[in-house]
Amino acid sequence: MTITLTEEQLAVKAAAREFAQQSLLPGVIERDSTMTYPSEQIKAMGEMGFLGMMVSPEYGGGGMDTLSYALAMEEISKVDNSCSVIMSVNNSLICWGIEKFGNEDQKQRYLKKLATGEWIGAFCLSEPEAGSDATSQRTTAVDMGDHYILNGTKNWITSGATSSLHIVIAQTDAEKGHRGISAFLVEADTPGVTIGAKEDKLGVRASDTHTLMYNDVKVPKSNRLGEEGFGFKFAMKVLSGGRIGIASQALGIAAGAYELSLAYAQEREAFGKPIAKHQAIAFKLADMATDIEAARQLVYQSAIMKDRGENFDQASSMAKLFASQAAMKHTVEAVQIHGGYGYVKEYHVERLMRDAKITQIYEGTSEVQKIVISRNVLKGNLYTPIV
């Protein structure tokens, strides 16, 4: 099956590619090594419209479809995954979550700033003891009449120190289990919000990942996102969309490593000919190309299903599971193809290999994706590709 991209979608892909090559590639190795937050690059991404791509123009966004967003994510992730994870969280978890489930007042107050990149958002679900088991929330929000008092700790929060708005998931009624979990919009400078230490990570090292502490934080009732008790379903819904973003990131990592490997293998000679002419390397390139093409189909399909208003939970989990496996497998192969050069920073593939690992972990581990997929399969929901 061929998915034909429109002229607009092709233009978005070309613009993202040019931006990544011109503006993100210079300095990407240094930012990764020194864990330097890409402030200038994120500002430019906001100006280019990459931080609120799917938000309606009336709220300052690009009004684009999910497929355009996936195409941009892929191109940016070929080069800089610290930038692309900030982009993914802001677009799919924060902006889409507020536009889809927030009320008009919340959209007016927050969405414009987030869609233009004036503000960056952080999604605060994970806790020290609630990662994959996201219903085990310990953070509490106690109803005090016109406001809630929030207490708890959130872990591994992307844009933890640089975000201006947090979406915080908290328990409002522990007896109701997941139906007693609610979502809140918390401004980062609210008294009682403390930013913990920055994580020193294997990959995506320039994005800032922190623990966040909430100590008697007063959150107005007008900042509850959706009804009380809707927080867990809200998190699951936005994560389904978020997984399309991370699948696109993984696809970009695999495709970026492939492009570098293909060029290198045609240039580098061994035993009297380019290494691409040796079957040992040519077959690696063939495997890479095949898996990347398959991952791309799954990513595009899940994006198209979301845009059509179909249930895309299973599709986005499949896309993320497959694309992240492909990214991990083929970045290891890309290092192998590059030999000794692959093991040093200058050639980029070792960074892509380190970045690939997190795509199998955040926004639901590969094992969590298999829970989602297997539950659908057991319900008889066969996955039907779009024709």
Q: Which residues are catalytic?
A: 363
Contact call for residue 59 and ligand CAA (CB under 6 A) = no
Of 33-41, 58-66, 234-242, 256-264, the window that binds ligand CAA (rule: CB under 6 A) is 234-242
Q: CB-wise, 76 or 334, nearer to ligand CAA?
A: 76
| Total residues in contact with ligand CAA, by rule CB under 6 A | 23
- Site map for ligand CAA, 178-207, x if CB under 6 A? x-----------------------------
Binding residues among 136-175 for ligand CAA as defined by CB under 6 A? 158
Q: CB-wise, 85 or 111, nearer to ligand CAA?
A: 85
Contact call for residue 123 and ligand CAA (CB under 6 A) = yes
Contact call for residue 239 and ligand CAA (CB under 6 A) = yes
Residue from 81, 92, 162, 240 touching ligand CAA (CB under 6 A): that is 240
Contact call for residue 362 and ligand CAA (CB under 6 A) = yes
Contact call for residue 363 and ligand CAA (CB under 6 A) = yes
Min dist CB 363 to ligand CAA, Å, is 4
- Measured CA distances, 190 to 107, 185, 195, 218, 220 (Å): 19, 11, 12, 8, 11
Q: CB-wise, 113 or 210, nearer to ligand CAA?
A: 210
Task: Please report, as ranges, the residues that interact with ligand CAA according to CB under 6 A.
Answer: 85, 89, 123, 125-126, 132, 134-135, 158, 178, 232-233, 236-237, 239-240, 313, 362-364, 368, 371-372
